[in-house]
């Protein structure tokens, strides 16, 4: 979650979305907009999870295939997919996901820290877990998904 | 008040008796009302910004795919002093002689009350009554562009959905009566090239400025004539390149800025102190202050709370400047100056493995088509080409950028011969050369660090992003693989 609202509110709003039949979510405060799928221009020699760049009203927006980032198979990329434009710190990026499902408002107290399971790449990207109507929803740590340094790339 | 409407059908097969037909390449507007102030304020909010510009009356109702129901029409006629009903649809117009001579057109069917306000200028100068036609065949007015395209002149017969019409006149101009002003919009330098992204973001500010010029800048025909000017006001929208920038101007020949009034409003609104000493320019610039509006009355055209301050911030966000100059009685000029060189680069647009790339023109010495004689193998996986007595290393852009594996043969391939700073040459294989053009450089986000061989990106006309290559950097980081070990190349 972003720093500015960690302690200040007891409620948290999450944008949930589907990725390989699993439900994930991000803090809605970091979501700038949601866009339909457009073909991304691939970046040579970029990490596998970097799908490429798209034209977001005149600016060049990198698109991350969240599925690959979390260690799963790439998202197919067709008209059903959506790109969630998020901002983390000074960085703006698009997250390619299967579909956006819901906006959930829940008390912060219902978020649980995930248990430690070292064998999982996706684990370090998950900040919290919660159960909504029987579905487990993973809350992503965007600062881990989109590291702000350049060391990881290239 | 009489309505000469009887029936209207979207499909013309049943005929459209009771309606006169005009053809325009572009029109909007459905039912126009010349109404009283009372209805006006209620309807104003519902009026679309654009619709009002060409509106034939004080208010307009639009119904999609249907006409006004009797009770709706009744309400409108009860509140209005005059009502004119117009039906807009698209249909195929043909000359009836050659099946190829046809065009999809925007049809505007009008009633006897048309034009309610404003003017319709026709050539020959007949009245709208001419739409009754002659010899039992209804009449039709055509847009000159359409008439020229189909080679039609007044008196000719045309067919619209199976119904015959006789062309009575060309439409020279259909002028708006919305604000009781006569306006001609002139454009100059429409062909001036500006980055497409800039155009997109300019549209709203420009629309607002033109509306502003019609509404606040120009005087009514009576006032203009009293001032010895032609009744028709002229708004000129011009664009030109000037010392590395694009200058776009909106100029009206109206009354100019009423500086005492502007000053008074600024004082009334507490924007300046009553004893402030301001130059003319400073007063003019008060228009850019947030929430400023000089119109005594809010009109349908401008003055809906979006002021020149919004225009200015939109321009500034593009790295531009806006200035205002005005001369009492002569008019007002808004100049927008935008940086052309947001970072512009002359590039060659090429296609490699289905991807579009831009190579800076400055880096390209020449282009060539390879023949098998030119290509010599160097190592097991590398090739050189023989150009004018020198051996130049061959690089496959598609392979270097990871789009594909090296090709089996480069015979017939297109190469760009590039030079590095130290003079060393190299040949880059591309699949096709698309065009040469100026592109606007957009930075790639730093989060991906340095991509070898890629300098930046640009947005092409179709909205897609193309990468701009740095050939020297590409070559430094290149593998030079132009052969798989499996393939033997010519030479």
pLDDT, tens digit, for every residue of B122-167? 878 877 777 777 777 888 888 776 777 778 888 888 887 777 888 8
ipTM: 0.73
For residue B306, the tally of other CB atoms under 10 A from its CB is 17
Decide if pLDDT at B349 tops 90.
Answer: yes
Count interface pairs A-B at CB distance under 8 A: 83
Distance, in angstroms, between B455 CA and closest chain A CA?
11
A58 and B201: CB-CB below 8 Å?
yes
A54 touches B at CB < 8 Å: yes
The larger pLDDT score, comparing residue B11 to residue B89, is at B89
CB-CB contact of B399 with B482 (8 Å): yes
Q: What are phi and psi of B450, to 5 degrees?
A: -95, 120
Q: Do A60 and B443 touch (CB under 8 A)?
A: yes
Question: Is residue A38 pLDDT above 50, yes or no?
Answer: yes
pLDDT digits (tens, 9 = 90+) for B361-399: 878 888 888 888 888 888 888 888 888 888 889 888 888
DSSP state of B435: E
Residue A56 touches partner B, C-beta closer than 8 Å: no
Q: Residue A56 contacts by C-beta under 8 Å, 6 or more apart in sequence?
A: A35, A85, A94
Q: In this predicted structure, what is the pLDDT of residue A56?
A: 87
pLDDT reading at B421 higher than 70:
no
Q: Give me the mean pLDDT over the A45-73 stretch.
A: 86
Q: Quote the pLDDT of residue B345.
A: 77
When pLDDT is cut at 50, 70 and 90, the band that residue B198 belongs to is low
Around Cβ B229, how many Cβ atoms within 10 Å? 20
Distance from CA of A153 to the nearest CA of B (A): 5
A80 reaches B (C-beta below 8 A): no
Check whether B78 has a pLDDT greater than 70.
Answer: yes
Tell me the pLDDT of chain B averaged across its residues.
Answer: 71
Q: Which domains does chain B have, with CATH numbers?
A: 12-175 (no CATH), 182-339 (3.30.565.10), 344-476 (2.40.50.180)
Nearest CA distance, A72 vs chain B (angstrom): 21
**What CATH number belongs to A3-142?**
2.40.50.180
The share of chain B scoring above pLDDT 70, in percent, equals: 69
Cβ-based contacts of A87 with chain B (< 8 Å) = none
The per-residue pLDDT for B297 is 40
The residue in chain B having the minimum alpha-carbon distance to the alpha carbon of residue A92 is B445
Q: How far is A89 from chain B (nearest CA, A)?
A: 12
Selection from A31, A40, A20, A141 nearest residue A86 by Cα: A31
Query: Using CA atoms, how far apart are residues B47 and B53, in angstroms rounded to an integer?
Result: 10
Q: Which of the residue ranges B35-39, B343-347, B468-472 has the most confident prediction, judged by mean pLDDT?
A: B468-472
Residues from chain A contacting residue B470 (CB–CB below 8 Å): none
pLDDT over threshold 80, residue A129: yes
* Predicted local confidence at residue A49, as pLDDT: 86
Alpha helices (H) along B338-439: 397-400
Which residues on chain A are in Cβ contact (under 8 Å) with B445? 53, 60-62, 91-93
B448 Cα to chain A: minimum distance (Å): 5
Q: Write out pLDDT tens, residues B47-72.
A: 333 333 333 445 556 666 667 777 77
What are the angstrom distances between the C-alpha of B319 and each of A151, B383, B447?
32, 47, 24
**What is the average per-residue pLDDT within B347-369?**
89
Residue A31 — pLDDT band, cuts 50, 70, 90? Answer: very high
CB pair distance less than 8 Å for A58 and B197: yes
Burial of B281 (0-12, 13-18, 19+ CB in 10 A): exposed
Task: Say what the pLDDT of residue A86 is.
Answer: 92
Which residues, 6+ apart, have CB-to-CB distance to B415 below 8 Å? B367, B368, B369, B370, B385, B394, B427, B428, B429, B430
A57 contact B CB<8A: yes
Could you tell me the strand order of the sheet in which A22-27 lies? A99-107, A11-19, A22-27, A135-140, A126-132
DSSP per residue over A25-60, as a string? EEEGGGEEEEEE--PPBPPTT--TTEEEEEEETTEE
In percent, the amount of chain B with pLDDT more than 90 equals 4
Domain boundaries, chain A: 3-142
Residues in chain B: 491
Question: What is the C-alpha to C-alpha distance for residues B40 and B311, in angstroms, rounded to an integer?
Answer: 26
């Amino acid at each position: 979650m972003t720093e500015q609202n960690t302690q200040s509110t007891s409620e948290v709003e999450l944008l949930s979305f589907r990725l390989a039949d699993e439900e994930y979510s991000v803090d809605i405060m970091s979501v700038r907009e949601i866009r339909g799928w457009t073909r991304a221009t691939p970046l040579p020699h970029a990490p596998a999870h970097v799908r490429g760049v798209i034209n977001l009203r005149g600016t060049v927006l990198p698109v991350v295939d969240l599925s690959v980032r979390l260690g799963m198979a790439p998202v197919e990329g067709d008209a059903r997919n959506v790109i969630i434009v998020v901002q983390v710190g000074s960085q703006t990026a698009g997250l390619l996901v299967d579909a956006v499902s819901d906006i959930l408002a829940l008390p912060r107290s219902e978020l649980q820290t995930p248990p430690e399971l070292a064998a999982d790449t996706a684990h370090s990207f998950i900040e919290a877990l919660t159960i909504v109507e029987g579905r487990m929803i993973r809350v992503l740590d965007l600062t881990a998904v989109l590291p702000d340094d350049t060391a990881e790339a290239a | 008040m009489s309505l000469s409407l009887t029936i209207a059908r979207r499909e013309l097969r049943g005929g459209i008796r009771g309606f006169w037909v005009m053809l325009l390449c572009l029109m909007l507007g459905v039912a126009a009302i010349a109404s009283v102030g009372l209805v006006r304020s209620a309807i104003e909010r519902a009026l679309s910004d654009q619709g009002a510009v060409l509106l034939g009356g004080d208010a307009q109702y639009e119904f999609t795919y249907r006409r006004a129901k009797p009770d709706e029409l009744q309400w409108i006629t009860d509140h209005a002093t005059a009502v004119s009903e117009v039906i807009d649809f698209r249909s195929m117009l043909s000359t009836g002689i050659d099946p190829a001579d046809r065009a999809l057109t925007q049809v505007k069917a009008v009633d006897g009350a048309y034009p309610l306000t404003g003017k319709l200028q026709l050539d020959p100068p007949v009245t709208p009554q001419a739409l009754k036609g002659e010899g039992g065949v209804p009449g039709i007015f055509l847009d000159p562009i359409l008439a020229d395209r189909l080679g039609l002149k007044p008196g000719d017969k045309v067919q619209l959905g199976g119904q015959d019409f006789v062309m009575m006149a060309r439409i020279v101009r259909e002028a708006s009566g919305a604000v009781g002003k006569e306006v001609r919009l002139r454009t100059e330098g429409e062909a001036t090239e500006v980055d497409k992204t800039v155009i997109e973001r300019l549209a709203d500010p420009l629309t607002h400025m033109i509306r502003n010029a019609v509404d606040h800048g120009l005087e009514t025909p009576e006032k203009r004539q009293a001032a010895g000017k032609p009744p028709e006001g002229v708004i000129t929208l011009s664009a030109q390149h000037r010392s590395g920038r694009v200058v776009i101007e909106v100029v009206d020949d109206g009354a100019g800025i009423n500086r005492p009034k502007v000053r008074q409003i600024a004082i009334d609104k507490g924007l300046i102190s009553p004893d402030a000493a301001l130059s003319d320019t400073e007063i003019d610039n008060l228009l850019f202050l947030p929430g400023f509006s000089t119109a005594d009355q809010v009109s349908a055209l401008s003055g809906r709370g979006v002021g020149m301050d919004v225009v200015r911030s939109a321009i500034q966000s593009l790295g531009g400047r806006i200035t205002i100059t005005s001369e009492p009685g002569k008019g007002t000029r808004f100049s927008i100056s935008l940086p052309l060189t947001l970072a512009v680069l002359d590039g060659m647009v090429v296609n490699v493995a289905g991807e579009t790339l831009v190579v800076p023109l400055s880096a390209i010495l020449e282009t060539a088509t390879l023949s098998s004689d030119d290509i010599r193998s160097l190592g097991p996986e590398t090739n050189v080409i023989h150009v004018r007595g020198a051996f130049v290393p061959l690089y496959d852009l598609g392979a270097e950028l990871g789009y594909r594996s090296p090709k089996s043969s480069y015979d017939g391939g297109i190469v760009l011969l590039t030079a590095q700073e130290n003079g060393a040459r190299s040949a880059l294989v591309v699949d096709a050369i698309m065009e040469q053009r100026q592109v606007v450089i957009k930075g790639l986000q730093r989060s991906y660090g340095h991509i070898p061989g890629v300098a930046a990106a640009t947005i092409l006309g179709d909205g897609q992003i193309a990468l701009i290559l740095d050939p020297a950097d590409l070559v430094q980081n290149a593998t030079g693989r132009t052969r798989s070990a499996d393939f033997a190349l010519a030479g």
